[in-house]
Amino acid sequence: MPDIEPTSPARPRLLVSVRGPDEALTALRAGADLIDAKDPERGALGALAPETVRAIVAEVGGRAVTSAVAGDGTGTGIAAAIAAMAATGVDFIKIAVGAADDAALAEAAARAPGRVIGVLFAEDGVTDGWAAHSALRLAAAGFAGAMIDTRGKSGIALPALMTATQLAAFVARCRAHGLMSGLAGSLGLADIPALSGLGPDYLGFRGGLCRGGNRREALDGARVAQAVAAMRTGLRADAA
Ligand SMILES: O=C[C@H](O)COP(=O)(O)O
């Protein structure tokens, strides 16, 4: 499995969500680091058919890290979907954490050891310590990573829902427990400098890199390339 070099604060990577092999190739050619298989017509965690994920993995051909959403169910109900996605050969499988208890989280993680990423939704972050505490639970359950995304895809971006302090605490807790960390949620190019500065392992995009800024439209290779350039600029600034 390719290594995304988790928990490396100086090198955030670019995750791009795609809905098929053509978009995967567009993202890859533009320089995306992580190709994420997701159906944008079905909300924040809409799963693609395993055959489509398998085709995306084949198109990427090991030239980038891959991930796939297993669905928006939680707990034991998602276990079969995790196994089905794992069988496609995708590197990482993303599932919602939701209200799953610790036993259900552990069961989910065990379906694809070292390959399951728990997705938290910023809209659920009602207390200051929520995200950081969730990261601790995911690490204890055997997850490989944790990310924060937004559930409502109406254009309200992650930085409008959580403070930089809350996000930094989440990233730090993930790093402390060996979890790869990701931040996403209607992000645009302008969000890259500040969020990169928090040191996540990756920043995730869909809508901001599609035509017209609409996540249901086609992925725009030129916008992906702009995001790649913005991430690299951030790296040079970090290194200075
Ligand atoms: O995993 C990342 C998401 O696909 C981001 O989607 P979005 O930028 O449209 O909120």
Choose, from 19, 94, 137, 206, the residue flagged as catalytic.
94
SS3 for the chain is: CCCCCCCCCCCCEEEEEECCHHHHHHHHHHCCCEEEECCHHHCCCCCCCHHHHHHHHHHHCCCCEEEEECCCCCHHHHHHHHHHHHCCCCCEEEEECCCCCHHHHHHHHHCCCCCEEEEEEHHHCCCCCHHHHHHHHHHHHCCCEEEEECCCCCCCCHHHHCCHHHHHHHHHHHHHCCCEEEEECCCCHHHHHHHHCCCCCEEEECHHHEHHHCCCCCECHHHHHHHHHHHHHHHHHHHC
- Annotation says 153 is catalytic: no
Kindly tell me if the per-residue pLDDT of 118 is higher than 70.
yes
> What integer pLDDT is reported at residue 129 of this predicted model?
84
Rounded Cα gap, residues 16 and 34, in angstroms:
6
> What integer pLDDT is reported at residue 240 of this predicted model?
34
Which of 65, 186, 202 for mutating ligand 1's site (highest number of atoms within 8 Å of CB)?
186
> What integer pLDDT is reported at residue 4 of this predicted model?
54
Strand-strand pairing, 13-18 and 34-37: parallel
**Averaged pLDDT, 169-176:** 94
CA neighbor of 148 nearest in space, from 202, 100, 112: 202
- What digits encode the pLDDT tens for the residues 135-164? 999 999 999 999 999 998 888 999 999 999
Give nearest CA residue, ligand 1 atom 6. Answer: 206
Give nearest CA residue, ligand 1 atom 2. Answer: 204
Q: Ligand 1: does its nearest atom lie under 6 Å from the Cβ of 36?
A: yes
**Averaged pLDDT, 165-179:** 94
- Residue 126: Cβ-neighbour burial (10 angstroms; 0-12, 13-18, 19+): exposed
Model confidence at 75, in pLDDT bands (50, 70, 90)?
Answer: low
CA neighbor of 36 nearest in space, from 78, 64, 73: 64
**Averaged pLDDT, 4-22:** 79
Task: List, in sequence order, every residue forming a beta bridge with 181; answer none if it has no partner.
Answer: 146
- Annotation says 94 is catalytic: yes
Q: Ligand 1: does its nearest atom lie under 6 Å from the Cβ of 186?
A: yes
Choose, from 13, 19, 38, 175, the residue flagged as catalytic.
38
Q: Which ligand 1 atom sits nearest the alpha carbon of residue 208? A: 8
Ligand 1 center from residue 113 Cα (angstroms): 24
Contacts of residue 1, defined as CB under 8 A and 6 or more positions apart, other chains included, come to 91, 114, 115
The overall pTM is greater than 0.90: yes
Tell how far CA 111 is from the center of its chain. Answer: 19
Size of the chain, expressed as the number of residues it contains: 240
Mean pLDDT, all residues of the chain: 90
CA neighbor of 183 nearest in space, from 236, 127, 232, 125: 125
ipTM above 0.95, yes or no: yes
Model confidence at 236, in pLDDT bands (50, 70, 90)?
Answer: very low
